[in-house]
Structures are given as C-alpha cells and as structure tokens.
C-alpha cells in the first residue's frame, strides 16, 4: 500500500512542475504513510517470532531516508523547471522586441520613435536585470541589428533623414548602461552623423526659403569642428558662390540673383556657429562678401532679361528693385529709364524694340499740351527716354467718344492756354504714353502715340480725354 501511494504521488509530481505539487496531495500521502506505519507497528508488537534487529533497523533507515532524498531531488528538479520557465519568458520578451524592430525596418525610425524606444528598453532590462540569462547573452547581436535598422537612411545616402536616427543612436549607450554596448557599436554613429550633417547641409546651399543648410552646417561646426567634413564646408560654399557668379555656363541671372542672396545669408549665419574655428569663420565671411558683391550685376542682368523677353511688368518691378537696392550704382540712372521704357512698351509694343539710354536733348522742338481736365503723366522713349507730369486744364472738358471718331476732330484748339512742356528731341521715332494720374476721380485709360521726328519741323503733342478713354494726338 505504501508503494502504491508513493507511486501515485510520483506519477503526479513528475516531471517536476515549477509550481510544485498541490499541498493536499502531499498531506494525504503523509497521512497514508503514518497510518500504514501505525498498522505495521501494531502487528509487530503482537507477533511472537524473533526478528533480526539489524536488518529491520537498516530497512527502517532506508525507508526514512528515501522520502527525504526524493524531496531534495524534487526541489532541485522544480528549481530547474522554474529556471526554464523564466528563460522562456525572457526569450519571449526578447522576441517581442525583435519583432518590433523588424516591423519598422522598411518604414524606418522617423514616426516610430516610441516603438524603437520600447524595444531598446526591453533589451536594456534583459541585460540589466537578468545578465546571466540566455536572452541577455543574445542582446549584443540584437543591438547590432537595432543599429543597422535605425541607421538605415545613412546607408541609402539619405543624409537629411539620417540625422535624427543617428542622434538617437548616440544616446543608446547611456540608455543601456555602462559596458552593455560594444565599443565599436557605440562609436558607430558619430562619424556618420558628421557626414550626414554635411551632406544634408550642402544640399540646401543656395536654396531659397530653406533652413537646411544653415541648421545642419551650423550643427556640424558646433558638434564636430575637427571632423574632415567640417573642413569641407568653406570649399563647398565657395564652389556654389563661384558657380552662381559665372557669366557663362552657370545659372540664369535671375536664378543666380536668388542663389547669391541666399548663399550670402547662409554663409553669414553658419559663421556664427559656437566653437567654429576662427579660420572657418573668416573664410565664410569672405564668401558672403563675394556673393553680395555679385548681386548688383546679376540683379541688373535679370531685369534686362525681362525687357528682352518683352515681360514689361517684370522689367518695371526688377528695375525698381535694382534702384532701391543699389541706388548709388552707376547703372541706377539707366534702370530708371528702363522703368519708363517698359511702361511705354507695355502699352505700345513697338517701343520695346528700342533700348533706352541715358542720352538727353536734341535739336527738334516738340511741345506737349494737356487738353484734359485731368492731370496726366507723359512718358516717352526712343532716341531719348524720359517722363514728366502736366496738370489738368481747368477750362477743358472731356470729349464724347463719338466726337473723336469725326475726321475733322482736332483737340487742343487755338485760343486757349494749356498746361504744356516743350521737349527738344533728336531725329527719330519717339513713342509717347499719356497716363491719367490717379486720384483725380475722372478715370480714363492710358493713351499712346508714335511720332517720327524729323529736322526742320516743330511738333505739338496733344493729350485729351474721351469719356471712358484717354487719348492723344500729334500735330506736325
């Protein structure tokens, strides 16, 4: 009976479970053994046969020692089972972290920062809290995978996208704790971050409305001032400035204007980097000055291109910008002439064939009168270019449009005094534009006239206003 009960207990208890054998089962087994022992003792006391003492005592000791030894062995087996269960749990945690890293391998670190941080925390906890576990021994290999996955944009040459992931990798040794990241792995991000800051920064050089160059190149000079990449910043800026300054084989004048202004601003900003070498700061300042020095000519050529392309609105805007920025430049007076010529050509396209000059004066008299109650601005271009204003004629009136269609219609009749100005022009074709001055409240549209001025004649140019329209005429 004792053997049967012990066998039943062994059948339930083995193999050892981490949680042990139910207490009720052990108590029941002990009760059975006690009852059997009591029964055996009672029978032994009633027997009259002589029993050898030594064998009986030996058997008794064996029977007492067997359960004790079995108990110790069972505890050891249970410890092994508990350890195996813990190892499985730790490996499961490791696997979960591995799957997290693998899940975002394609999409990358950006936008999934918390997921990667969670995986890293799992690796840290395994290494720190269970350093002798099988899972902890696998962590160094997992960290190499982690670094490759997070730093993948660098391997693809996507330097701008690589900056933030590489910055994160720099923090991994601190997160993991001392000695838990191999030295070679801990040193991996820094040189690649310097390369990424440089690559991303130069990609934004000369690009308007972009802070990429300023931010990343400044960070490079502040964080890695002695790196090979930091030494390449000035030559790269110089190369961009030289390209934009080229007259042939470089950018168009308008693109060059934008690039040079941006490069000047960027070089000036990057030169303010904390801790940047003095030689670098000086060289960047020199490149900023080079870029600024090329701006007047490129701005001028950009405006000329607009005139040559018959974009007269752009010509006016760009030439005005030139005179505003570079009023002391020797080309500023001619720029003002181009503004006038562009306004005339915008209304009278034939005038666009003439390149304005700063020439003035001539020998042929042309008198311009204003037969309109509205003040006018008179602009003209041809052999000479200029403009002036005439006040309104108080005794004059606006003509009916139908009257102007009559072949006998003749504005500026004699017997009246008109606001006027006398010009002296050289021979050749002069194009006139009469613009009603804003603010008069009378309205009217600009009017044009073309005058072929020849020697030996005097000319009278008459401006008048038809209701809803502006107009002008010429008398030779």
For 307, the 3-state DSSP assignment is helix
Q: Under a CB-based contact definition with an 8 Å cutoff, are residues 294 and 260 in contact?
A: yes
Higher pLDDT, 392 or 82: 392
Q: Which of 243, 278, 309 is the last residue of a domain?
A: 309
For 372, the 3-state DSSP assignment is coil
Distances (CA, A) of 405 to 98, 102, 374, 411, 474: 90, 84, 21, 12, 16
Q: Under a CB-based contact definition with an 8 Å cutoff, are residues 349 and 310 in contact?
A: yes
422 within domain boundaries: yes
Higher pLDDT, 446 or 206: 206
From CA 345, how far away is CA 144, in angstroms rounded?
70
Same domain, 233 and 284: yes
Preceding peptide of 421 cis, ω within 30°: no
Same domain, 229 and 289: yes
Percent of the chain with pLDDT over 70: 79
Q: Strand 364-371 to strand 459-466: parallel, antiparallel, or no bridges (unpaired)?
A: parallel
Same domain, 372 and 470: yes
57 within domain boundaries: no
Predicted confidence (pLDDT) per residue in 272-309, tens digit = 999 999 999 999 999 999 999 999 999 999 999 999 99
Q: Which of 159, 187, 215 is the last residue of a domain?
A: 187
Residue 290: both structure tokens together: 């080079």
**Residue 149 is part of which domain span?**
87-187
Mean pLDDT, all residues of the chain: 86
The reported pLDDT for the residue numbered 67 is: 62
44 within domain boundaries: no
From CA 237, how far away is CA 287, in angstroms rounded?
7
Spatial strand order of the sheet with 428-436 comes to 386-390, 376-381, 428-436, 447-453
The reported pLDDT for the residue numbered 206 is: 94
**For the chain, what is the domain count?**
3
282 within domain boundaries: yes
Same domain, 264 and 364: no
Long-range contacts of 158-163, Cβ-Cβ distance < 8 Å, separation of 24 or more: 159/195, 159/196, 159/197, 159/198, 159/199, 159/200, 159/203, 160/196, 160/199, 160/200, 160/203, 160/212, 160/216, 161/108, 161/110, 162/192, 162/193, 162/196, 162/200, 163/193, 163/196, 163/197, 163/200, 163/216
Higher pLDDT, 456 or 81: 456
Same domain, 433 and 376: yes
Q: Give the helix/strand (H/E) hosting 464.
A: strand 459-466
The reported pLDDT for the residue numbered 350 is: 96
Same domain, 399 and 301: no
Same domain, 160 and 214: no
The reported pLDDT for the residue numbered 62 is: 54
Same domain, 297 and 391: no
From CA 179, how far away is CA 285, in angstroms rounded?
44
Distances (CA, A) of 297 to 170, 187, 250, 325, 385: 47, 49, 14, 12, 22
Residue 8: both structure tokens together: 């039943």
Q: Which of 187, 215, 232 is the last residue of a domain?
A: 187
Closest CA to 159 of 115, 191, 111: 191
Same domain, 424 and 357: yes
The reported pLDDT for the residue numbered 232 is: 98
The reported pLDDT for the residue numbered 16 is: 46
From CA 223, how far away is CA 274, in angstroms rounded?
9
Backbone angles phi, psi at 125, to 5 degrees: -65, -40
Same domain, 177 and 283: no
305 within domain boundaries: yes
144 within domain boundaries: yes
Predicted confidence (pLDDT) per residue in 84-126, tens digit = 788 899 999 999 999 999 999 999 999 999 999 999 999 999 9
Which CATH number characterizes residue 391's domain?
2.60.40.2890
Q: Which residue carries 């064996």 as its tokens? A: 62
Same domain, 256 and 296: yes
Same domain, 152 and 200: no
67 within domain boundaries: no
341 within domain boundaries: no
């Amino acid at each position: 009976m004792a053997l049967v009960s012990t066998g039943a207990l062994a059948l339930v208890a083995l193999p050892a479970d981490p949680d042990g054998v139910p207490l009720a089962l052990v108590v029941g087994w002990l009760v059975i053994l006690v009852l059997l022992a009591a029964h055996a003792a009672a029978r032994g006391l009633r027997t009259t046969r002589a029993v050898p003492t030594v064998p009986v005592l030996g058997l008794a000791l064996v029977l007492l020692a067997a359960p004790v030894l079995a108990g110790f062995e069972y505890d050891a087996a249970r410890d092994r089972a508990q350890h195996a269960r813990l190892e499985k749990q730790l490996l499961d945690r490791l696997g979960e972290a591995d799957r997290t890293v693998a899940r975002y391998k394609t999409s990358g670190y950006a936008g999934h920062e918390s997921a990667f941080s969670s995986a890293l925390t799992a690796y840290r906890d395994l290494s720190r809290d269970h350093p002798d576990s099988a899972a902890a021994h696998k962590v160094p290999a997992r960290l190499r995978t982690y670094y490759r996955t997070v730093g993948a944009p660098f391997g693809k040459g996507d330097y701008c996208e690589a900056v933030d992931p590489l910055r994160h990798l720099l923090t991994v040794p601190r997160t993991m704790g001392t000695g838990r990241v191999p030295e070679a792995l801990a040193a991996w991000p820094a040189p690649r971050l310097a390369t990424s800051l440089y690559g991303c920064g130069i990609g934004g050089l000369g690009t308007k409305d972009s802070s990429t160059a300023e931010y990343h190149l400044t960070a490079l000079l502040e964080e890695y001032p002695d790196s090979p990449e930091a030494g390449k910043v000035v030559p790269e800026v110089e190369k961009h400035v030289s390209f934009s300054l080229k007259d042939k084989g470089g950018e168009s004048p308008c693109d060059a204007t934008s690039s040079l202004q941006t490069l000047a601003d960027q070089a000036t900003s990057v030169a303010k980097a904390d801790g940047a070498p003095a030689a670098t700061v000086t060289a960047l300042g020199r490149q900023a000055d080079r870029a600024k020095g090329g701006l007047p000519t490129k701005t001028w050529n950009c405006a000329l291109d607009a005139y040559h392309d018959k974009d007269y609105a752009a010509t006016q805007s760009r030439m005005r910008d030139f005179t505003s920025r570079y009023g002391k430049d020797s080309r500023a007076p001619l720029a003002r002439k181009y503004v006038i010529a562009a306004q005339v050509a915008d209304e009278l396209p034939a005038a666009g064939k003439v390149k304005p000059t700063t020439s003035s004066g001539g020998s042929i008299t042309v008198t311009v009168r204003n037969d309109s109650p509205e003040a006018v601005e008179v602009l003209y271009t041809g052999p000479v270019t200029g403009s002036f204003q005439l006040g309104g004629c108080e005794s004059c009136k606006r003509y009916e449009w139908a009257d102007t269609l009559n072949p006998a219609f003749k504005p500026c009749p004699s017997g009246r005094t008109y606001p006027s100005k006398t010009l002296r022009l050289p021979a050749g074709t002069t194009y006139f534009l009469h613009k009603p001055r804003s603010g008069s409240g009378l309205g009217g549209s600009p009017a044009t006239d073309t005058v072929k001025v020849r020697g030996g004649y005097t000319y009278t140019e008459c401006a008048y206003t038809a209701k809803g329209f502006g107009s002008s005429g010429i008398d030779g």
